[in-house]
Amino acid sequence: MEIALSPIEFARRARRLYAGKEAVVEGGKRFTYAEFFDRCDRWSAALQGLGVTQGDRVAYIAPNTHTHLEGYYAVPQTGAVLVPINYRLLAEDFEYILNHCGAKAVCVHPDYIPAIDSIRDKLPKVEIYVALSESQDGWQDYEKMIADSKPDFTEAEISETDLLTINYTSGTTARPKGVMITHRNAYLNIMNTLAHQHLTPADRYLWTLPMFHANGWTFTWLNTARGMTHVCLPKADPELICKALGDEKITMLCAAPTVLISIINAPKEFRDLIPKGVRLFTAGAPPAAATIEVLENELGWQLTHVYGLTETAPLITICEARPEHEKLSAEDLAIVKARQGVELVGSGELRVVDELGDEVPHDGNTLGEITVRGNVVMKGYYNDVAATDAAIKNGWFHSGDAAVVHPDGFLEIRDRFKDVIISGGENISSVEVEGCLLRHPAVQEVAVVGMAHEKWGESPHAFVVLQPDHQTTEDDLKQHVRDALAHFKTPQWVSFVDELPKTATGKVQKFVLRDNKTSITRQ
C-alpha cells in the first residue's frame, strides 16, 4: 500500500524512535518527543472540537515559540491547512491575508493580539480566535484547551497533492500572494536537503530563521525527521543568539546574511560564548565573501550557501563543496561559497535563460533569468490564477532573479531583475558592488540601489552602515570600488545611515531606499 509523501510521516517515525529524547527547548521549558507530540495531538483534538475540518485554513501569527512549532504538526495531521503569517506586518496586512486565505481559525502570540483585536470586525470568515499563552478576553486559551483535551483526534486521509501550507510572499511591490505548498513539495524538499547535509539525532538546531518564512526552510519538519533538538528563540537578538549557541551547545542553524553580520559584530563578551564547528545554511540574499571569511576563518563555522524561493518549497540550489575547492586560498574559496551553486539532487531542473527562453552560455558573464520545474515548485498562488499563469509558463516557474552560470555549472545571482542598475547602457549588479564595499574595513552593512541620473539615466547609490568606532568618507569608499571594479560601477553617491530597512527575514527593502530619494540630478 502506498503512503502519501508528507512531512507528517517524519513525525510518525520520531514518535517511535525518539520518544524519550529532548525535542524542543524554549527558555526554561523542555519537552521530549513524547511530550511534544502529546501536546500536538491534544491540540489537533481541540481544533476538531472547535469545528476545524479537513481543508480549513488555520493561521498563526507568532515568533519562534514552541506553540508555533506545534502548529506545524497539529494542524496538518487533521487535514487542515496551516497559514503561517509574518508577525511583523501591520494590522491592515493581517486583515488582507486572513480574509484572502479564508482562515477559519487564527492562533496569535499575545504580542500581536491587540493588532488582531483592532480588525476583528473586518474578519467575517474567522470563527475561532486562540491566544497562544495566557487567557485573553474574547480569546480561546490555548494552554487550557490542551490541558482539557485528550490526545485523541481523527487523523485525516491525506493525499500528497493536498495543501500543507499557504505561505504569503512579502508583498513589497504589490499585495502579498499566497504560495500553495503541498505535502509532496515539503517532503521532497526535506529529502533533498538531507541528501546534501549530514544531520544526526545528536544535532541541536537554533531557531533564528523565522518559522513563518517558507516554513523555516522546512526545518520545522526536517529537524524532527532526524530526531534533532529544536531550540526556539523568539527574538533573534545577536546577544541572545550568542548565549544560546553556547548554553545549548548548538550545532546547526539557518540565517540570512544580515543576521550573520549581527553575530559577527556582537560585543566580544558574547562572541566568546560561540562554539566552534557550528554548521549553517544561509540564503535570502547573497552573502558577501568577506562575511564568509570571518565566519569560517575567525569563528570556525562551516557555512553552506543555499538558494530558493517561497514558491519552490523553498530550496533549489546548494553551493556544494568539491575536491578542487580544497586547493583554493581562503579568499578565493569564500568567493566560490558566495555563489548559489548547483541543483539539489531532487529539486528538479534549473535553467538560466535569456529573453527568448534559450539557456545562456556557461561563461560566468551572460545574464539570464533563473527558471525551474520539478517536484518542489508550488501548486500555484491561492485564489490568483492570473499571478500563477504569469509566474509559471510552459511548466517552468520564472523566479525574477538575474544570474550567470560559471563554466563549472555553478549559478551566481547578480540581482533581482528589478534591482539591476542600467547606467549609460551598461548593466551593473548591485550585489557585486555591495560585495566590494563590504571588503572595506569600515563597512558593516551596505545596500546599493539605482537612482535617476540626468546624464546616465540611472546610477548606483550606496547606503552604508559603518562598523562601530570606524570612520571613512564618501570619496574613500568610491575609490575603494574604483580600484576593484570597472569605473562605471562606482557609486555616484554614498549615504551613511544608522541602519538599513529590512523584512522580518533579514532582506534589505531596497524599494524603501529608492522611495526615500527617487530623483538625483547630481553629476
Q: Tell whether 411 and 439 lie within a shared domain.
A: no
Angle of the 33-49 helix axis to the 66-74 helix axis, nearest 10: 70
SS (H, E, C) 149-172: CCCCCCCCCCCCCCEEEEEECCCC
d(CA 521, CA 455): 8
Q: What is the pLDDT of residues 159-186, one digit of tens each?
A: 999 999 999 987 555 688 999 999 999 9
Q: Tell whether 283 and 430 lie within a shared domain.
A: no
Q: What is the pLDDT of residues 313-335, one digit of tens each?
A: 999 999 999 999 999 998 899 89
Q: Tell whether 352 and 255 lie within a shared domain.
A: yes
Domain holding 496, by residue range, is 422-516
d(CA 228, CA 224): 6
Q: Tell whether 367 and 454 lie within a shared domain.
A: no
CATH code for the domain in which residue 392 is found? 3.40.50.12780
Establish if 359 belongs to a structural domain. yes
For residue 25, count CB atoms less than 10 angstroms from its CB and return exposed for 0-12, middle for 13-18, buried for 19 or more. buried
CATH code for the domain in which residue 434 is found? 3.30.300.30
Establish if 473 belongs to a structural domain. yes
Q: Give me the half-sphere count of Cα atoms (radius 13 Å) on the Cβ side of residue 283.
A: 24
Q: Tell whether 247 and 374 lie within a shared domain.
A: yes
Query: Which pairing describes strands 315-318 and 342-343: parallel, antiparallel, or unpaired?
Result: antiparallel
Residue ending a domain, choose from 416, 439, 462: 416
Establish if 157 belongs to a structural domain. yes
Q: Tell whether 429 and 367 lie within a shared domain.
A: no
Q: Which of 351, 352, 348, 378 is nearest to 366 (CA)?
A: 352
Establish if 411 belongs to a structural domain. yes
Sheet strands (E) in 283-420: 302-308, 315-318, 342-343, 349-353, 368-373, 380-381, 392-393, 396-405, 411-416
For residue 395, count CB atoms less than 10 angstroms from its CB and return exposed for 0-12, middle for 13-18, buried for 19 or more. exposed
Q: Tell whether 104 and 170 lie within a shared domain.
A: yes
Q: Which of 96, 62, 81 is nearest to 180 (CA)?
A: 81
Q: Tell whether 411 and 441 lie within a shared domain.
A: no
Establish if 220 belongs to a structural domain. no
Cell of 521: 540630478
Q: Tell whether 380 and 461 lie within a shared domain.
A: no
pLDDT at 523: 29
Establish if 341 belongs to a structural domain. yes
User: Does residue 291 contact residue 257 with C-beta atoms inside 8 Å?
Assistant: yes
Establish if 98 belongs to a structural domain. yes
| Structural domain count of the chain | 3
Instruction: In the chain, count H helices and then E strands.
Output: 18, 27
pLDDT at 96: 96
pLDDT at 171: 58
Residue ending a domain, choose from 126, 159, 185: 185
d(CA 215, CA 88): 16
Region of 499 on the Ramachandran plot (φ > 0 left; ψ -120 to 50 alpha; else beta)? beta
Establish if 207 belongs to a structural domain. no
Q: Which of 67, 352, 89, 398 is nearest to 207 (CA)?
A: 67
Exposure b/e, 36-51, CB count within 10 A at least 16 = b: bbebbbbbbbbbbebe
Q: Tell whether 159 and 259 lie within a shared domain.
A: no
Residue ending a domain, choose from 185, 202, 226: 185
Within 10 Å of residue 394's Cβ, how many Cβ atoms? 8
Place of cell 547602457: 425
Q: Tell whether 163 and 45 lie within a shared domain.
A: yes
Tell me the mean pLDDT per 10 residues along the chain, length 523: 92 97 97 98 98 98 98 98 93 95 98 97 98 89 97 96 94 78 98 96 97 97 98 95 97 92 91 95 82 91 94 96 92 91 95 96 95 97 97 95 94 82 76 90 92 81 93 95 88 94 77 64 32
Q: Tell whether 381 and 485 lie within a shared domain.
A: no
